[in-house]
Structure 1
Amino acid sequence: MSTVVIDPVTRIEGHLRIEAETENGVITRAMSSGTMLRGIENIMIGRDPRDAWAIAQRICGVCTLVHGIASVRAVENALAYPIPPNAELIRNLMIGAQFVHDHVMHFYHLHALDWVDVVSALSADPAATANLQQCLSPWPNNSTAYFADVKQRLSGFVGSGQLGIFANGYWGHPEYKLPPELNLLAFAHYLEALDWQRKASRLHALFGGKNPHPNFIVGGAPVALDGQPGKTALDASGQALVEAVIKEMQAFVDQVYVPDTLAIARYYKDWSRRGEGVGNFMTYGEFPDPFAGTDDTSRLFVPRGVILGRDLSTIHPVDLDDPNEVQEGVSHSWYQYAAGPVSLHPYAGETRPNYTGPQPPYANLEMDQAYSWLKSPRWKGLPMEVGPLARVLMLYATGHAATQTLVDGALAELKLPITALYSTLGRVAARTLETKLIADQMLVWYGQLMGNLKSGDRSTHNDALFYPGSWPTSAQGVGYTEAPRGALAHWIVIQDGRIANYQAVVPSTWNAGPRDALGQEGPYEAALRGHTLLDPAQPIEILRTIHSFDPCLACAVHLVDPDGESLMRITVA
Structure 2
Amino acid sequence: MSTRTITLDPVTRIEGHLRMDVEVGDGSVAKAWTSAQMWRGIEVILKGRPPEDAWTLAQRFCGVCTTVHAICSIRAVEHALHAEVPPNAQFIRNMMIAQHSVQDHIVHFYHLSALDWVDITSALKADPAATAKIAQSISDWPGNSVTEFKGVRERLQRFVDSGQLGLFSSGYWGHPAMELPPEVNLLAVAHYLKAFDYQRKAAEAVALLGGKNPHIQNLVVGGVATAINTDHMAALNVERLAYLRKLMVETRDFVRKVYYPDLLAIAGAYKGWFGIGRGVTNYLAVPEFPEDSKGVEFALGGGTIDGADMATFRPITDHRDPQLIEGVQESVAHAWYEGSDPRHPWQGETKPNYTGFEAEGRYTWCKAPRLDGKPVQVGPLAQVLVSYANDNPRVKPMVDEANAGLGLTLDDYHSTMGRMLARGMRACLMADLSIDYLDKLTSNIASGDQTYANPTHIPDGEWRGVGFHEAPRGTLSHWIVFKDRKIENYQAVVPTTWNASPRDEKGQPGPYEASLVGTPVAEPEKPLEVLRTVHSFDPCIACAVHAIDPDGREITKVSVK
Same fold (TM over 0.5): yes
Letter in 2 for 1:201: A
Equivalent residue for 1:315? Answer: 313
Contact 1:62–1:212 under 8 Å retained in 2? yes
Letter in 2 for 1:287: F
Equivalent residue for 2:288? Answer: 286
Equivalent residue for 2:224? Answer: 221
Contact 1:207–1:222 under 8 Å retained in 2? no
Equivalent residue for 1:397? Answer: 389
Q: Secondary structure at the match of 1:481?
A: strand
Equivalent residue for 1:89? Answer: 91
Instruction: Within 5 Å, give how 1:278-357 maps onto structure 2.
Output: 278-290=280-292, 294=294, 296=296, 299-316=297-314, 319=321, 324-337=326-339, 341-357=340-356
Equivalent residue for 1:360? Answer: none
Instruction: Within 5 Å, give how 1:103-502 maps onto structure 2.
Output: 103-215=105-217, 216-232=219-235, 234-290=236-292, 294=294, 296=296, 299-316=297-314, 319=321, 324-337=326-339, 341-357=340-356, 365-463=357-455, 465-466=456-457, 468=458, 471-502=459-490
Moved more, 186-195 or 416-425: 416-425
Does residue 526 (structure 1) correspond to residue 514 (structure 2)? The answer is yes
Equivalent residue for 2:497? Answer: 509
Give the fraction of aligned pairs with identical amino acids, expressed as a percent: 49
Letter in 1 for 2:348: G
Contact 1:14–1:553 under 8 Å retained in 2? yes
Provide Cα deviations, 1:258-295, integer angstroms capped at 9, x if missing partner. Answer: 1100111111000000001111000122111227xx36
Q: CA RMSD in A?
A: 1.9
Letter in 2 for 1:543: L
Take 2:322 and 2:173, find their aligned partners in 1: how far apart are those partners?
45
Letter in 2 for 1:171: W
Provide Cα deviations, 1:393-426, integer angstroms capped at 9, x if missing partner. Answer: 0000111122111111111111122211110000
Structure 1 position 38, deviation (Å):
1.2
Equivalent residue for 1:569? Answer: 557
Instruction: Within 5 Å, give how 1:64-103 maps onto structure 2.
Output: 64-103=66-105
Structure 1 position 472, deviation (Å):
3.9
Take 1:75 and 1:400, find their aligned partners in 2: how far apart are those partners?
29
Contact 1:21–1:27 under 8 Å retained in 2? yes
Equivalent residue for 1:362? Answer: none
TM value normalised by structure 1 = 0.93
Take 2:486 and 2:313, find their aligned partners in 1: how far apart are those partners?
37
Take 1:66 and 1:498, find their aligned partners in 2: how far apart are those partners?
23
Letter in 1 for 2:349: E
TM value normalised by structure 2 = 0.95
Contact 2:300–2:392 under 8 Å retained in 1? no
Provide Cα deviations, 1:87-121, integer angstroms capped at 9, x if missing partner. Answer: 01111110000111100110000000000001110
Structure 1 position 324, deviation (Å):
4.4
Assess, with a 3 A threshold, how the Cα gap between structure 1 residues 475 and 566 changes in structure 2: closer, same or farther.
closer
Q: Secondary structure at the match of 2:89?
A: helix
Take 1:7 and 1:523, find their aligned partners in 2: how far apart are those partners?
19
Take 1:237 and 1:150, find their aligned partners in 2: how far apart are those partners?
36
Letter in 2 for 1:88: Q
Take 2:301 and 2:360, find their aligned partners in 1: how far apart are those partners?
37
**5+ residue gaps, structure 2:** none
Take 2:486 and 2:423, find their aligned partners in 1: how far apart are those partners?
39
Structure 1 position 136, deviation (Å):
1.3
Structure 1 position 447, deviation (Å):
1.2
Assess, with a 3 A threshold, how the Cα gap between structure 1 residues 333 and 231 changes in structure 2: closer, same or farther.
closer
Q: Secondary structure at the match of 2:124?
A: helix
Moved more, 519-528 or 410-419: 410-419
Take 2:163 and 2:381, find their aligned partners in 1: how far apart are those partners?
39
Contact 1:84–1:462 under 8 Å retained in 2? yes
Take 2:325 and 2:210, find their aligned partners in 1: how far apart are those partners?
34
Assess, with a 3 A threshold, how the Cα gap between structure 1 residues 326 and 101 changes in structure 2: closer, same or farther.
same
Structure 1 position 321, deviation (Å):
7.5
Letter in 2 for 1:39: G
Take 2:171 and 2:431, find their aligned partners in 1: how far apart are those partners?
32
Structure 1 position 446, deviation (Å):
1.3
Letter in 1 for 2:257: Q
Contact 1:93–1:442 under 8 Å retained in 2? yes
**5+ residue gaps, structure 1:** 358-364
Provide the aligned length of Structure 1 versus Structure 2.
551
Assess, with a 3 A threshold, how the Cα gap between structure 1 residues 446 and 322 changes in structure 2: closer, same or farther.
closer
Equivalent residue for 1:43? Answer: 45
Letter in 1 for 2:125: S
Equivalent residue for 1:3? Answer: 5
Letter in 1 for 2:272: D
Letter in 1 for 2:401: G
Structure 1 position 514, deviation (Å):
0.1
Structure 1 position 23, deviation (Å):
1.2
Structure 1 position 22, deviation (Å):
1.3
Assess, with a 3 A threshold, how the Cα gap between structure 1 residues 138 and 226 changes in structure 2: closer, same or farther.
same
Provide Cα deviations, 1:346-393, integer angstroms capped at 9, x if missing partner. Answer: 011100111111xxxxxxx43320000000000000000000000000
Assess, with a 3 A threshold, how the Cα gap between structure 1 residues 399 and 322 changes in structure 2: closer, same or farther.
closer
Letter in 1 for 2:119: D
Assess, with a 3 A threshold, how the Cα gap between structure 1 residues 184 and 50 changes in structure 2: closer, same or farther.
same
Contact 2:301–2:315 under 8 Å retained in 1? no
Letter in 2 for 1:550: D
